[in-house]
Amino acid sequence: MIFNNEVKEVIDMHLHIDGCYEDDGADVLNGFDEYIEKGPFRAVCIAALPSGKKGKANRDPSNNIMAAFCKMANPKVYAFGGLTYPDYPQDPDKLGDMELDIQYKELMEIGFDGIKMLEGKPNLYKYVGNRLDSDMFDKFFAEAEKNGTHILMHACDPIQFWTEEYATPEYIAKGWSYVSGDYPTKEELYSQIENVLKKHPKLIITFAHFYFMADELERLGDIFDRYENVGVDITPGGEMYLSFNEDRDKSRAFFSKYSERIMLGTDGCFPKCMRAMEWLADRTYRYITTDDTFKGFDDKYQTGLLLEKTAQENILSKNFLRKVGESPREINKEALKRYIEKYKHLIKDEKAISLIEEYSKKFF
Ligand SMILES: [Zn+2]
C-alpha cells in the first residue's frame, strides 16, 4: 500500500509522457489521474522530452504540446517544457527562429512552469553535438537565470555506464554503455556544467537522479555550498539508493543538512504501469518519511531515513513550491496555437498529429 504513513502533501516533480499517447483507451489528458488519486498528491509535474527519447535520435515537439494539454485538462499538473532541435547534430548557426532563447521565451509564454533538459545525458549530448557551456546554450541560460526559471536537468549517468562490465550487447542496446562511440566522460560533463554555473551562479537548476553523485556526497555538498540555487531530485536510479544505504547515518546527515535542495520524483511514465509507479512512489516516500526496512532496489533491503518533519516537508513539496510556483501556471491558448503552427512540421508521428488536431478542437 502506498503512502500508508502519516499523510503529507506530496509533489512528484519528475514524470514523463512517452511518445505514445494512448493506454488501454485512457488518453494522455487524464493519464496521471489514477496515480494522483493513489496518494496525497498536491500535484505532479511532467518533464517533457521533445528532443529525444530512450536514446533514439528522434525529435518530437508533440511532447511539449501534449504536456500543455495535460495542464489544461488537470489543475494539479505542472509541466516543464523542453528545447527541440531541427537537426542532429545541431549547427548553432542554422537554428534561425528556433534559437534556444527564443524557444525558451515561447515555452514560458505558453505557460510552462520550467524547463526540462535531457541534453546532459551522454547519448542526447552526442546527438545534439554542442558543449553545454557553448554559445548555443548561453543566452538561454542567461535568460533563465535572470527570470528565475526552474530547470530540471539530466546530466551524466551512473558511472557503471562507462565501464567494460556494462559494455554487453544488452546494455549497449538499451543505450546504457558509453565505453565506445565517442561519448563524453562523466567528468567532462561535470566540468562543462561547472562552467555554466560559474557564468550563471544564480541559476535555479535541479539535477535529476542526485546528479549521479550519491556516492560522492562531499563533492555534491561542495557544489551546494557554492551555488545557492542548485538542487537534486531523488528520482531513482536504484544505484543511488544502494549508495545511500552503505552509510545510512552519513546519508541522513546529508539529507537533513541540505533538505532545501532535494525534491521527490519517480520517473513514472505514461502510458503507465500503475504497479511500477506505485512501487516507485512508495519507495521514495518511505525512504524520506520512515525508518522502515524494506525491499528496495536490486532486491536489496534498505532502511528509511525518517527525517525531521521540516526536512520531510521540504523534500516532499515545499522546495518545489518555492522554486517553481505555488500553483501550475495557466496555459495561454494563443501562444500554444502559435507554437503548434510553428513546430508541427517537425512532428513525424501520424497519431500524435491527429491527437493534436483533436485536442486543439477540444481546447481552442
Ligand atoms: Zn526522467
* Residue-range domain boundaries for the chain: 10-363
**119 CA from centroid of ligand 1 (Å):** 12
**41 CA from centroid of ligand 1 (Å):** 19
**54 CA from centroid of ligand 1 (Å):** 10
**240 CA from centroid of ligand 1 (Å):** 14
**92 CA from centroid of ligand 1 (Å):** 26
**53 CA from centroid of ligand 1 (Å):** 10
**361 CA from centroid of ligand 1 (Å):** 30
**15 CA from centroid of ligand 1 (Å):** 6
Q: Can you tell me whether residue 170 is helix, strand or coil?
A: helix
**305 CA from centroid of ligand 1 (Å):** 23
If you search the block for the grid coordinates 500508508, which residue do you land on? 4
**201 CA from centroid of ligand 1 (Å):** 24
**52 CA from centroid of ligand 1 (Å):** 12
**16 CA from centroid of ligand 1 (Å):** 6
**What CATH topology corresponds to 10-363?**
TIM Barrel (3.20.20)
Cα(206)–Cα(233) distance, rounded to whole angstroms? Answer: 7
**117 CA from centroid of ligand 1 (Å):** 10
**244 CA from centroid of ligand 1 (Å):** 20
Backbone angle region of 276, left / alpha / beta, with phi > 0 → left and psi within -120 to 50 → alpha: alpha
Contact indicator for 223, 193 with CB cutoff of 8 Å: no
Contact indicator for 160, 166 with CB cutoff of 8 Å: yes
**267 CA from centroid of ligand 1 (Å):** 5
pLDDT tens digits for the chain (364 residues)? Answer: 467 667 679 999 999 998 778 776 678 998 899 999 998 899 999 999 987 654 454 668 999 999 999 999 999 999 999 999 988 899 999 999 999 999 999 999 999 999 999 999 999 999 999 999 999 999 999 999 999 999 999 999 999 999 999 899 999 888 889 998 889 999 999 999 999 999 999 999 999 999 999 999 999 999 999 999 999 999 999 999 999 999 999 999 999 999 999 999 999 999 888 999 999 999 999 999 999 999 999 899 999 999 999 999 999 999 999 999 999 999 999 999 999 999 999 888 888 899 999 999 999 9
The grid coordinates of residue 57 equal 535520435
| Per-residue pLDDT, 66 | 95
Cα(145)–Cα(31) distance, rounded to whole angstroms? Answer: 32
**14 CA from centroid of ligand 1 (Å):** 6
Q: Are strands 269-270 and 204-207 parallel, antiparallel or unpaired?
A: unpaired
The grid coordinates of residue 168 equal 554487453
